[in-house]
Amino acid sequence: MNLGLIAPELWLGLLGLGLLLVEMITGSESKRVVGWIGAAGLALALVPSWGLLGQPARLMFGGAYAVDAFAAFFKIVAAVSGILVLLAAMAFFRDRPAEHEGEVYVLIVFMVLGLVAMAAAADLILLFLAIEFVSLISYVLAGSLKADAKSSEAGVKYFFFGAVASATMLYGFSYLYGAGGSTNLYQLGPRLAGLPTPFLVVAAVLVLAGLGFKTSLVPFHQWTPDVYEGAPTPVTALLSVGSKAAAFAALLRVLYVALPPGAWVSVLAVLAAVTMSVGNLLALSQQNIKRMLAYSSIAHAGYMMIGVVALAASPTPMGSGVTAVLYYLLAYVFTNTGAFGVVIAAERLLGSDAIPDYAGFGRRAPLAAFAMTVFMLSLTGIPPTALFWGKLSLFGAALQSGLGWLAVVGILNSALSLYYYLGVVRVMYVQVPADTAPASEGLLTRALLVAAAGATLVLGIYPEPFVRLVQHASLLLRV
């Protein structure tokens, strides 16, 4: 066994344990040191993760853990998400005393480790343990602001919804094990191929209850708006990007490797259309920016599901569907984390999450308002931003796979989303503010916004190298 193949996981585990010690010996006024060390450590984790992109695909630990470019790509995504969220968390806790600030930084690093394990798990038992590891940390992080009633409520609601979803998913795993006689995804594939479709549909729906909960698919989305609104904003950002990316990685591996396409294509096609529509329709009436981004996150899960469905009808073993999903996830990490970075700045400068209170934000905080404009345009899918190419590739994959109706639904929903995304921009630049005094976002917040907005524009203006990266990662999904 070559332990160098799991160097990112070993490093993340040691980093988390080291941060626990640092947190214990630092004073209450120096907890930001923990965040800076965590961000630097996650940046170092990118080095071995990038090196694994060129390794031949293989299975480790008795076939339970995959080492391939697909998993390596999500290790990079998880580490980048963690770095951005740690920067956002340090900006969030600026001038905001918190009893458990240091522990939040430590848990974010451990959650990145769990996300990495979710993306590489090739066994149902290991996948379930990784999901529960991430879930337990998520529950704690969502309720980490003990003095805030909304945060405590978010943690409790998230826990109860998550417990039901996990139990349902585990029941689906038991179906697969009972039918295939193995928990290994790569052994289940050929064994389940000849089973009756109705049985496999039931198993797929049960599994989707758990993974759909993590990705906020309708009808497993009920927790999303309340948890997004009540949780600390950096935690909300992590749930919306890191957790969603790892859940899609697990979903792709389970569906593509273990389940025959006939068992899930129709179900997921309907879920994709319903998820897009419900998310966008409910976002239209939201006056709270975090709830609006929550319903937006639901809608984007529906967009990404288009690529998953297109995968089954691709003419090649790994068609453009997965490539589109991976590119979309990469772009979404920078776009949505940046949007929540602006929300953090606005919370501190305006003291409110209400969209009408963003009036005149363009005059008071020009950098944050410009960055928010970039993120809103990207979420809409307007060039030259990153998610323009993401949506274009997803809709193109649907058309190539004979799913023209699903592409039409996606295009109509994108047009619908223009109303509430540009509504935020209109409030910032057109409406007259009650207070016109200039406000400073803070150096750390500015750095976060510049990095996220810059990446969003670079991915939109010069997407070729990133497209090649995701194409390489998608080709090695199957070991």
Q: Which of 85, 238, 366, 90 is nearest to 374 (CA)?
A: 366
DSSP state of 57: P
Q: Which of 384, 436, 472 is nearest to 70 (CA)?
A: 472
Task: Give residue 328's pLDDT.
Answer: 93
Distance, CA of 342 to CA of 345 (rounded, Å):
5
Task: Give residue 318's pLDDT.
Answer: 43
DSSP state of 63: T
| pLDDT tens, per residue, the chain with 479 residues | 688 889 999 999 999 999 999 988 887 777 889 999 999 999 999 999 998 888 888 888 888 899 988 999 999 999 999 999 999 999 888 877 666 888 999 999 999 999 999 999 999 999 999 999 999 999 999 888 877 788 888 888 889 988 999 999 999 899 889 888 889 998 888 888 878 878 888 888 888 888 888 888 988 888 888 899 888 899 999 999 988 999 999 998 888 888 877 667 888 889 999 999 999 999 998 999 999 999 999 999 999 999 888 877 654 444 467 888 899 999 999 999 999 999 998 888 888 888 998 888 888 888 999 999 999 999 999 989 999 998 998 998 888 888 889 999 999 999 999 999 999 999 998 887 766 667 777 788 889 999 999 999 999 999 888 888 888 887 656 65
- 197 in Cβ contact with 259 (< 8 Å): no
Distance, CA of 218 to CA of 391 (rounded, Å):
20
- 378 in Cβ contact with 288 (< 8 Å): no
Task: Give residue 349's pLDDT.
Answer: 83
Report helix, strand or coil for 168: helix
What's the sign of the alpha-carbon dihedral 374, 378, 384, 386? positive
Task: Give residue 80's pLDDT.
Answer: 94
Distance, CA of 340 to CA of 222 (rounded, Å):
20
Task: Give residue 314's pLDDT.
Answer: 58
Task: Give residue 78's pLDDT.
Answer: 94
- 327 in Cβ contact with 470 (< 8 Å): yes
Report helix, strand or coil for 65: strand
Distances (CA, A) of 274 to 281, 406, 410, 413: 10, 10, 10, 11
Task: Give residue 74's pLDDT.
Answer: 92
Residue with tokens 């591996």: 253
Task: Give residue 468's pLDDT.
Answer: 87
Residue with tokens 């031949």: 56
Task: Give the tokens for residue 142.
Answer: 């969502």
